[in-house]
Each structure stands twice: as structure tokens, then as C-alpha cells.
Amino acid sequence: MKLARRLQAIKPSATLALNARAKALAASGKDVVVLAAGEPDFDTPEFVKQAAIEALRTGFTKYTATAGTPELREAICRKLEKDNGLKYAPEQVVVTAGGKQSLYNCFQALLDEGDEVIVFAPYWVSYPDMVHLAGGTPVIVPTREEDGYAPDPAAIQKALTPRTRALVLNSPANPTGAVYSRATLEAIADAVRGHDCLLVTDDMYEKLLYTGQPFLNIGNVAPDLLPRLLVSNGLSKSHAMTGWRLGYAAGPRALISGMQLVQDQSTSNASSITQKAALAALTGPTDTITSMVNEYRERRDLFVAGLNAIPGIRCRLPEGAFYAMADVRALLGKTYKGRPLADSLQLSEALLNDFLVAAVPGDPFGAPGYIRMSFVTSREVLQKGLTRLRDFVAALG
């Protein structure tokens, strides 16, 4: 069957595809070490589950307003003010089915055919494809590990054209775990100030910071840019709620109305039950987040040290999120079962097939020569992954 032309540029989500494959292998009885998707192994906090149970019990199971219940939109405004120092009115907030839908709706509402969106590489796999789905053109600006993945302001300025409609910022970042400093955010703000484009900040990993420094949004360091800032966030990572599908965006009224329109004619409201759970999550205690982050920090230290102890693997210590991005370039060109490993795709394939470790190749993140492993799994599983990685490297000729 002939499908729409715009799908020709779209690839399946590499993270979700590998995760599904690893889980299917596990279901077939294989002892797979799944370091694929960024999905916390913790359970959703009990008080959040209770709010959903209460929603079911009281029959809160009908459509809500497309943009979310008034109480949840207000709670999001309070969260944005309290945690992020950003002031929004409830009409400037839209509740979505996951952080993914916020970003998707934004690009659908914003872009015309051929409009450009600047994305820094390495990037989360879905940004370029979401831009393509909206008819836009992603403009990839590389960043360097040596610079802590901070973008070069001169490279941003070079990438800006009259067709640039938006620039995506993601700090803490997926897949690198890099966190932008105040100076980096100021430099980005200076680079875009003279150009009328939207700043989309994907703050999904806001709570997952290991530096001891508070989280910073570019709106905090450059308040003059607030009128063209879209903040996207969600509860998937902070509250271990990936399956509930709850995200939100806050920004300029016209854009939020446009995003609401897209949602009105596609999915309507995020689940009513999930919205009640989200209200509890955003207004309830935060100690579960603190204990999750403390545990992730320990796992990060253990896992990254273990990776760096394997000859041929090198891994920068991520300051946030929950991914280890390991440089495996020293292993490429070596032979495995008599055949040279050409790239990180082949390396990941061999690792999964023969050593039962699911790690995402860097290529779909715009980071060839790297593999991404999430460390949101138990220390035992991480240790097992390290042992298998070591065996794999030892098997290379």
C-alpha cells in the first residue's frame, strides 16, 4: 500500500525498537541485560497510584477538557513557579499524553513545509523525526565531548537562517547526560537573541541531576527570551510513570492554543485517571524523587567506573539524566567471529545476539562510534552487564 510521502523520511524510534526486541528475548526465557530504553525500574510512588485508584472509584473516567483539567493546569503553573521560577497562567499550559506529545504538538503547530529547527547532536532520537513529521527540516549542529557537549555559539549563529523557527535545548540531555552551565545557557541566549525563533526546552530530566547544582532553564538566565520559550516536561522520568503517559507544555498563548488545536483533532485529553495521578504527583511529597536520584547517582558511579575499566571503552561521567554514553571507537575495526565490526550498530547487534546485553547504538542519536546504556536498573544487573561487556571485548580479534 502506498503511504504518505512524509513518512519516507521517518525511522522507527531506535530506543523503543531495541527495548521491544530485548523484552521479547527476555520473555522467550533469555537472560537479557536490558540497558536500552530510559525507563526507571522503580515503581510509581504508592500515593500516586492511590490517586488513580480513587479516580476510578469515584468515576472520574470521562473526557476532560482537551488541555487538561483546570486543577492540574493550575498545579503545573505552581510547579513551574516554585521549582523553575517561571510564571505562567493556566491558559498557557497544555497537558499531553507524555512529553513526546508535547513536542510533537509543538512542531505540528509551528512548522510549515521546509521550516528549520536547530537540534544539537548527539540528540534524542525522536527530535529529527518529529520535525520531519511536521514537514520541517532538522538542522543538526554537532557538539563535542571535549566541550562537555556544550554547543558552540558560532556554530549556532552559522546554522540560523531566515527559515529557522525553533531551537531545541535538552539539559540534562538524552543521550549524553550533559548539563548546560549558566555560562553555556547565556552563550546560547546571546547567539539566538537577534533571531526571532522559538526556544523549545525539553526539561524531561530536570530532576535527575547529580551535580548538586540547581536545575536551570534558559528562561532563568535570559528572561527577555521568555515570550518565545516553550517549556516541555512530564512525569515519566521524575515519578517513574513512563506507562501512564503524562506530559505538559507551557509557553506563549498563541502557540499553546495551536498545540491544543492539534490535540483537539487528534487525541483529545490525556487520560482522566492519569491526570488525577499527576495532580497527586505534582502536589505530593518529593522524598521518593530524592531517594531515586540518590540511588541513580550510585549506580552511575558504579557503572561508569566499570565501563572505564574495560580496555577499549571510555565513558564520560554524565552530570544528569540516566544514560552512560560510551565511546567504543577503539573497538571498531576489530574482528568478531572473523568479521570486522564496522560501526556501533554492528557492535550493538553482536552484543545483543551473543552476549545478551541490549545497548542502543549511537548512530540514531547522531553519535556514531558510541553506544548508550541506561543505568536505571539494579546494581546486580549493571554488574552482570559489565561482566558481559568485558567478555565481549575479550572475544574481539
Binding site for ligand GLU (CB under 6 A): 13, 15-16, 37-38, 124-126, 174
Task: Give which of ligand PMP, ligand GLU, none residue 16 binds (C-beta under 5 to 8 Å, depending on kind).
Answer: ligand GLU
Helix/strand/coil for 357 = strand
Shortest distance, CB of residue 323 to ligand GLU, whole angstroms? 8
Task: Give which of ligand PMP, ligand GLU, none residue 120 binds (C-beta under 5 to 8 Å, depending on kind).
Answer: none
Among the residue ranges 98-106, 215-223, 255-263, 340-348, the one whose residues contact ligand PMP (CB under 6 A): 98-106
Task: Give which of ligand PMP, ligand GLU, none residue 13 binds (C-beta under 5 to 8 Å, depending on kind).
Answer: ligand GLU
Task: Give which of ligand GLU, ligand PMP, none residue 344 binds (C-beta under 5 to 8 Å, depending on kind).
Answer: none
Cα–Cα distance between 300 and 366 in angstroms, integer?
23
59: its cell numbers? 468515576
Site string for ligand PMP, 102-141 (x = CB under 6 A): ----------------------x-----------------
Cβ-contact 168, 120 below 8 angstroms: yes
Residue 247 touches ligand PMP, criterion: CB under 6 A: yes
Rounded to the nearest 5 degrees, what angle is found at the Cα of 217, between the Cα atoms of 285 and 251? 90
Q: Which is nearer to ligand GLU, 174 or 348 (CB)?
A: 174
Residue 236 touches ligand PMP, criterion: CB under 6 A: yes
Shortest distance, CB of residue 234 to ligand PMP, whole angstroms? 4
Rounded to the nearest 5 degrees, what angle is found at the Cα of 147, between the Cα atoms of 142 and 149? 50
Residue 100 touches ligand PMP, criterion: CB under 6 A: yes
Helix axes 99-110, 126-133, angle to 10 degrees: 40
Nearest Cα residue to 368 out of 338, 347, 340:
347
- Report the DSSP beta bridge partners of residue 372: 325, 360
Q: Which is nearer to ligand PMP, 350 or 359 (CB)?
A: 359
Residue 13 touches ligand PMP, criterion: CB under 6 A: no
Among the residue ranges 95-103, 128-136, 144-152, 153-161, the one whose residues contact ligand PMP (CB under 6 A): 95-103
Q: Which is nearer to ligand PMP, 51 or 204 (CB)?
A: 204
Cα–Cα distance between 97 and 307 in angstroms, integer?
35
Cβ-contact 239, 42 below 8 angstroms: no
Cite the DSSP H helix spans in the chain: 14-27, 46-57, 70-84, 99-110, 126-133, 153-159, 182-192, 218-221, 253-264, 272-283, 287-308, 344-355, 379-394
Q: Which is nearer to ligand GLU, 51 or 130 (CB)?
A: 130
The correct pick among 170, 184, 238, 348 for binding ligand PMP (CB under 6 A) is 170
- Report the DSSP beta bridge partners of residue 292: none
- Report the DSSP beta bridge partners of residue 336: 339
- Report the DSSP beta bridge partners of residue 118: 139, 167
Task: Give which of ligand GLU, ligand PMP, none residue 64 binds (C-beta under 5 to 8 Å, depending on kind).
Answer: none
101: its cell numbers? 506529545
Among the residue ranges 92-100, 148-156, 272-280, 366-374, the one whose residues contact ligand PMP (CB under 6 A): 92-100
The correct pick among 66, 137, 174, 377 for binding ligand PMP (CB under 6 A) is 174
Residue 242 touches ligand PMP, criterion: CB under 6 A: yes
Task: Give which of ligand GLU, ligand PMP, none residue 164 binds (C-beta under 5 to 8 Å, depending on kind).
Answer: none
Helix/strand/coil for 356 = coil
Task: Give which of ligand PMP, ligand GLU, none residue 274 binds (C-beta under 5 to 8 Å, depending on kind).
Answer: none
Residue 267 touches ligand PMP, criterion: CB under 6 A: no
Nearest Cα residue to 166 out of 211, 121, 119:
119
169-189: b or e for each residue (b if 16 or more CB lie within 10 Å)? bbbbbbbbbbbbbeebbebbb
Residue 172 touches ligand PMP, criterion: CB under 6 A: no
The correct pick among 139, 168, 192, 204 for binding ligand PMP (CB under 6 A) is 204
Cβ-contact 219, 170 below 8 angstroms: no
Q: Which is nearer to ligand PMP, 73 or 100 (CB)?
A: 100
Given the rule CB under 6 A, which residues bind ligand PMP? 38, 98-100, 124, 170, 174, 202, 204, 234, 236, 242, 247
